[in-house]
Chains A and B, each alone.
Chain A
Amino acid sequence: MSVQELEQIFNDKIENEVRIEPRDWMPEKYRQTLIRQISQHAHSEIVGMLPEGNWISRAPSLKRKQILIAKVQDEAGHGLYLYSAAETLGITRDQMIEQLHSGKAKYSSIFNYPTLTWADMGAIGWLVDGAAIMNQVPLCRASFGPYSRAMIRVCKEESFHQRQGFETLLVLSKGTDEQKAMVQDAIDRWWWPSLMMFGPHDSDSQHSEQSMKWKIKRFSNDELRQRFVDMIAEQVKLLGMTLPDPDLKWNEERQHYDFGPINWAEFWNVVSGNGPCNKQRLDARKKAWEDGAWVREAAVAHAEKRATRKEMVAA
């Protein structure tokens, strides 16, 4: 079959919402863009364990500690589902790790911000996981089978993350003046970076158009960002808190919230490596990989020993 015919079959599948599976013919660019997106999504989950992992040892109660540990473990699992999906496209785990460590592969810029107080745990669960959910629900219908299946699994688990975050803030918002101030401060620091999670304006988004044509992406950055603002602007009222945006206002005509301008200089700075914690995050990942080498080697040696022992018993 000619390339044109194969391409036609591929395009027909996309058109008819038939999922593309790993061994189906696909344009090389489709494969590469998926490898990039899925591996970066996986890296985001793993790096995302770091800002919250920071507070496990200092959670205010055993219950909160258990909940935070469970959430961070979930993020590890999400990373693994996504690495698994990416590997079906022909890239290996070692290659992906190397790309992360060399800076060739990116991860979500939100994780380059520091977690300064316990209330940050609540703000992250509510705002950051909330934004992630907004982005991930449409991905459950991404055209590539393994990616959409991984996303379905992730979304089921993600809703606990958002609920525990909001609940953490709710409890604090009914506490002392100090606790209330801590909540407001966390919201003030995490709000704008959460909006940046949706990426640049549609007009500045490099990959969006092709991703939408191939039905990897279903909604535009700006569309998802607007939905998120509308949702959070209502939820924040239940906390008795405010969002740090003087321009945030319900627009009766549009039936949406108007909001202020995003600091794009900050966004591009953080994406390109100049955020507050970029170096820290990458150093932590590299150290974990290097310090863990003996574990990987020991596991192989142990497996071989086990196999030999089994053979000897059988003999």
Chain B
Amino acid sequence: MNFLRKYYYGDIPGENLGGGKSSEAKEWPLWEVFIRSKQGLDHKHVGSLHAADAQMAIENARDVYTRRQEGVSIWVVESKFIHASNPDEAESFYEPSNDKVYRHPTFYDLPDELTHM
């Protein structure tokens, strides 16, 4: 069982991000791709790809993820710049909201005659 703590950036382990300074940069860094499929919608994470820089990443993202007009806007972020919460700590991290039922509209018992609420 591997007990070493790996540092993750988004979904990718830290040592696998590739890229680096000039002579050592043989492998293109990994980028996460977000696509807005239609005006009015959010950008959604669709996957990752390797590219030498941001412009190439955007062009590659267009070629891989928008072949059937599935995008009007593309964001790319190097995977190493995505910081994520730790799922192992999820229970304690999200605990404060578990017992605050009064935040939900259904907590409030109001007469049926009351309209528009």
Contacts and interface: CB of A to CB of B under 8 A. Distances in A.
A74 interface: yes
Contact of A303 (B11, B26, B30, B52): B52
Interface string A79-115: 0110011011011111000000000000000000000
A149 B53 CA distance: 26
A274 B47 CA distance: 36
A303 B27 contact: no
Interface string B65-101: 0011000000000000000101110000000000000
A245 B100 CA distance: 66
A47 interface: no
A178 interface: no
A300 B50 contact: no
Interface string B1-38: 11000101001110010100010011110100000000
Interface centre among B16, B30, B46, B67 (most CB of A within 10 A): B16
A304 interface: yes
B106 interface: no
Contacts, number: 75
A94 B56 contact: no
Nearest to B16: A92
B39 interface: no
A28 B1 CA distance: 7
A84 B52 contact: no
B27 A88 contact: no
A122 B51 CA distance: 34
A3 interface: yes
A305 to B, nearest CB: 10
A22 B45 CA distance: 14
Nearest to B8: A23
Contact of A93 (B50, B64, B87): B50
Given A93-B27, A93-B50, A307-B53, A87 B12 contact: yes
Given A22-B11, A28-B2, A307-B53, 15 more contacts: A3-B1, A25-B87, A28-B1, A77-B67, A81-B64, A84-B48, A92-B18, A150-B47, A153-B46, A157-B68, A299-B52, A300-B52, A303-B56, A304-B25, A306-B55
Interface of A: 1, 3, 21-25, 28, 73-74, 77, 80-81, 84-85, 87-88, 90-94, 146, 149-150, 153, 157, 296-297, 299-300, 302-304, 306-307
8 contacts: A22-B8, A24-B87, A28-B1, A28-B2, A80-B47, A93-B27, A149-B47, A306-B53
